Amino acid sequence: MALVGSVGGLVVGSQPASAADVLVVSNNYFNEAAADMQANTAHNVTGWDAAAVPTAIDLAPYDVVLLFQDGGFVDPVGVGNALHAYIGTGGNVVMGTFYWQGRSDGGGVGWGALETVDPMTAAAGGSEYLPDTLNVATMVAHPMTAGLLALSAQEYRGGTTAKADAVILAEWTGTNQNGLIDPLIAYRTEGNACVVGVSIAPHYSTLQGLGNGMFAGDFFLLWDNVLQSASVGCGDGGGVCGDGEIGDDEECDDANKDETDDCIACANAFCGDGFVQMGLEQCDDANKDDTDDCIACADAVCGDGLVQAGVEECDDANEDDDDECANDCTLPVAGTTSDDAGSSGDGDTGSAETGSADGDTDSSGGAGTSGGADGASADDTGDGATGGADGSASAGVSAGSETGGLTGTGTSAGGDGSSDDDGGCGCNTRHNSPGWLVLGGVVLLGFRRRRTVATLR
């Protein structure tokens, strides 16, 4: 159910809450505090007179025990030890003012083993008898602080000091008597148990009934939130992102809000989540189309295989191929194909590497830029000695003919530094023309395979 009520003239609303079974333990006003909580929160609340120390059987039915003090306990050490054992079984405990004045460092007899697991000390006195208000700016997003807008007390609040391992969720505006942060809500976990301190007196009716307007603001909303969250182990039933505890619906929780490490918003960080992981990523723009200057969480470069829009014309991630994408990620000028300096070895596109068709003969063309001709084609009737390779001035291996009359003998000349019969620069485009080869008096018919130039889409 949701709590909606009015305290001090303010309408307050609570997060949806499932009813927890709560036992209020005190030496005085336990019934009044239980009645307040029963009427103004979502929970089932019962009072317990601490004149009798509750046993494990007494405590077992309850999700949360709310402990506070108003006057001296008969056996505070016995009660403290009983609640410490209850915490050891996974039981959840919430303390309210004046619990801390009963601590050994607050002038009291002490609470036995309970003092080893509670979240606050009484080093600053355990309660202040001066007015103060909730400092809203200090609140940490958590189910215990959900919906809180304002809270004030004329006295009977504050005066505590959070332990080093406690999580502070909200503070009073002023400092405590030692000049340190004065926590309003702080908690710590002990195994599976939640142990919470709320430094305000919980028995509203007796104190407010004095007619002095002791409390104002979201008093019951605060207690409703705290009892609900404590009943599920200081969370919301599924884990609270940022509380340092990994909940059922969280992958991680490091209580770190700067979002620069490997745990982002309580999920394992990954490339593309929009957060730069320090020491792991150079950038992260949460953009999966990879067309800008952040590619796969690293600064984009030519040769990464991803086309940067407005920066690159192409990018095939291949620096030694012979297709239409040059090493500088540009497309060739119309009428030419590129030379990636891996096929012909010259790195430049020469006229011999494009050429023009001559009947059904091989491609013809002029000289390459680095040496001999890429190969002059034979005409239909005559011998056609082919040229030397790029970088060489030597003649071809032999003369040959590719005439329609099938005359002539010999093999075709070597190409750009190659000795096979597909001579010429590797960036060439070839026709499917029949070729003849005479070996040992046997005439073999073959076809030269044409290389095609793919169109970038």
Stated pTM of the model? 0.54
Q: Which of 84, 143, 71 is nearest to 118 (CA)?
A: 84
Q: DSSP 3-state helix, strand, coil percentages of the chain (rounded to 5)?
A: 15, 20, 65
pLDDT score of 125: 94
**Is 185:198 a contact under the CB 8 Å cutoff?**
yes
Please tell me the distance from the alpha carbon of residue 269 to that of residue 358, in angstroms, as a whole number.
61
pLDDT, one tens digit per residue, over 273-310 is 777 776 677 787 776 555 667 766 766 788 887 787 77
Map out the domains of the chain as residue ranges.
4-231, 340-457
The type of residue at 268 is N
Q: What are the distances in angstroms from CA 124 to CA 57, 155, 237, 336?
A: 35, 15, 34, 85
Confidence of residue 236 (pLDDT cuts 50, 70, 90): confident
pLDDT digits (tens, 9 = 90+) for 244-261: 666 666 778 776 655 567
Which class would CATH give 4-231? Answer: alpha beta
Q: What is the pLDDT of residues 311-341, one digit of tens each?
A: 888 888 876 666 788 888 888 876 554 444 4
pLDDT tens by residue, 161-194? 999 999 999 999 999 999 999 999 999 999 999 9
pLDDT at residue 79 in the model: 98
| Of 155, 150, 118, 119, residue with least CA distance to 137 | 150
